[in-house]
């Protein structure tokens, strides 16, 4: 089976050190290190992490050393981000969240991983993002928490073991 390509936002890196999300996030990164999926990291993420605590910056450096797919901000990404904002999916104040979705959409990521329940892991917003994507001629985007992804990846592994 083809490996999933998973885009992460900054909340996933921060979740590694957060008491509430630590266990699921650390398991998510263990699955990454075991080669269960391909990680997509954007320039946007790198800009945000540059302002984060040192331990978060160090985690990103460690992840990059393991190998990632790097996504660059482009005019097309800026246009899609603006389409989300202009449609009211997200306000200008949270343009960075819209940029994460735009970059993942353009890269045809299989999933966006996030702990941002207000702006990203929210069924109403996901539906709105996908409405704009459809109007703009892009495919749909799936947004899940690292915990949900862990369960999916681990169940997929169990299924493959049974098939052998």
The architecture of the domain spanning 4-157 is: 3-Layer(aba) Sandwich (3.40)
Q: Domain-by-domain residue ranges, the chain?
A: 4-157
Q: Per residue in 34-62, pLDDT tens? A: 999 999 999 999 999 999 999 999 999 99
- Is the confidence at residue 25, as pLDDT, over 80? yes
Average pLDDT, the chain: 94
Find the helix packing angle between 95-106 and 123-136, rounded to 10°: 50
What's the pLDDT at 5?
A: 97
Q: What is the pTM of this model?
A: 0.92
């Amino acid at each position: 089976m083809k490996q999933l390509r998973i885009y992460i936002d900054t909340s996933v890196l921060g979740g590694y050190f957060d008491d509430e999300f630590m266990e699921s996030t650390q398991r998510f990164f263990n699955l990454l290190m075991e080669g269960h999926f391909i990680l997509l990291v954007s320039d946007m993420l790198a800009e945000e992490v540059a302002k984060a605590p040192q331990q978060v910056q160090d985690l990103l450096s460690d992840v990059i050393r393991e190998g990632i797919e790097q996504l660059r901000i482009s005019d097309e990404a800026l246009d899609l981000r603006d389409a989300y904002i202009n449609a009211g999916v997200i306000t200008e104040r949270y343009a960075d969240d819209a940029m994460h979705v735009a970059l993942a959409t353009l890269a045809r990521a299989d999933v966006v991983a996030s702990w941002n329940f207000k702006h990203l892991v929210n069924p109403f917003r996901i539906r709105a993002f996908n409405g704009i994507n459809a109007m703009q001629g892009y495919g749909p985007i799936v947004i899940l928490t690292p915990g949900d992804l862990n369960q999916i990846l681990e169940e997929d592994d169990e299924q493959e073991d049974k098939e052998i």
